[in-house]
Amino acid sequence: MIQVKPITGIPEPLRASAQPQDPAFFQNPYPFYSDINRSNPAFFWEEYGHWCFADFKSVSALLRDKRFGRDILHVASRAEIGLPEPKPHVADFDLTERHSLLNLEAPAHTRLRTLVNRAFVSRQVEQLRPRIRQLAHELIDGFEENESVDLIKAFAAPIPAIVIAEMIGLPAEMAPQLLNWSNRMVTMYMYNVTHETELDANQAAADFTAYLRTVIAERRQAPREDLLSHMLTADRDGDVLSDEEVLSTAILLLNAGHEATVHTTGNGVKSILESGLDPKTLFASPEQAEATVEECLRFDAPLHLFTRYALMDTEVDGVSLRKGDVIGLMLGAANRDPNRFADAERFDPFRKDGANVSFGAGIHFCIGAPLARIELQEAMSVLFDRLPTLRIVEPPRYGNVYHFHGLEKLMVAWR
């Protein structure tokens, strides 16, 4: 987890303030983003205490910029850059992140990603389309006779949780427990995390780890045709993964493998229903379904802020940075940059200038992006085909977990 050291002396015109836990902000951060992109897309966010970049060009470039990384301790000591020591009461959580692809830099990142990447390439996940459609139909069968339903709980959350669990080699019936652990662990990325939240996230990490250690031991004795067995048996010229590396990778894949997809499904269905567009036209062909999903990812992204350390003293857009400084890359703001997108505030699945940075870029481009895209295309296609009169029946509310951006619930009806 990235740690921020204090910075002072920033000129007032370059500073901006938005309280991440203010409902007025996290329910709709886009007016703030719009103001920033029209004034100072490179700005110092007072509440976070670090520089942020909000325009599409800068965010896209910085995601690929090797002057910045998710880790800093491979090029500096804590004392050198003033980072505090790890907190003992979150040791179990920190253990899950020690070998996380999300936080490693080359060459450690290259090695680990090479050993696990095969399962997530497009030709592999394409084979999952029938299973995803089957799950979507089964879930709709389970609630179609109801008057209304929370689409997040009944549809958006189960599909990616079951798919990633089955890919890794865990039973589908474990999906609710995996969701519980994951949801508690990601609260560690909230702004201004409380001690109680840290303790609960650490307990979830400890329980998750204990469960996976048991499964890993079983797979070492009796490998199967699943991703966990693949990671345990992968051998690249004598290079194999340790149990700790397999553990971190499995937890990352389980957590990241559903979090963004759940949020994008909920946010995307909300965007489609509020747009007034005919869902039938938005999923009329595989090509249009793909374009619709990409616009959902652009218009209301599932992750709004991703941080990097400066690995050296450097300068970006006139901003001087010291080695060890944190920068924030504002994915949600970049996706609504009025200098990059025509009518950026409008949901338009037919736009000709479509693009987004919702899955990141560079070496940390989301390894599960091909799977997430297929899950979104298939799940939403089935949903709107089965329930063409779907409508929102309660005002949707986003969860207080900025920088993750997803709905707490989405109450819909179809009769």
pLDDT tens digits, residue range 130-189?
999 999 999 999 999 999 999 999 999 999 999 999 998 999 899 889 989 998 998 888
Confidence of residue 102 (pLDDT cuts 50, 70, 90): confident
Closest alpha carbon to 191 in 351, 307, 32? 307
Distance of alpha carbon 247 from alpha carbon 98, whole angstroms:
10
| Separation of CA 28 from chain center | 18
User: What pLDDT sits at residue 27?
Assistant: 97
Q: Which residue has the tokens 């799940």?
A: 379
* Bridge-based pairing state of the strands 407-409 and 411-413: unpaired
pLDDT exceeds 60 at position 6: no
- Judge whether 336 and 33 are in contact, CB under 8 Å: yes
- Which domains can be identified in the chain, with CATH numbers? 85-306+356-413 (1.10.630.10)
Dig out the tokens for 5 from the structure: 């050291």
Q: Tens digits of per-residue pLDDT, 368-412?
A: 899 999 999 999 999 999 999 999 999 999 999 888 999 999 999
Pairing status of strand 319-321 against strand 397-398: unpaired
> What's the pLDDT score for residue 234?
79
Q: Which of 10-14, 61-65, 111-115, 315-319 has the lowest mean pLDDT?
A: 10-14
Say yes or no to pLDDT of 17 above 80: yes
Cα–Cα dist 89/118, whole Å: 36
The pLDDT score that the predictor gives to residue 230 is: 86
Check residue 7 and give its pLDDT: 62
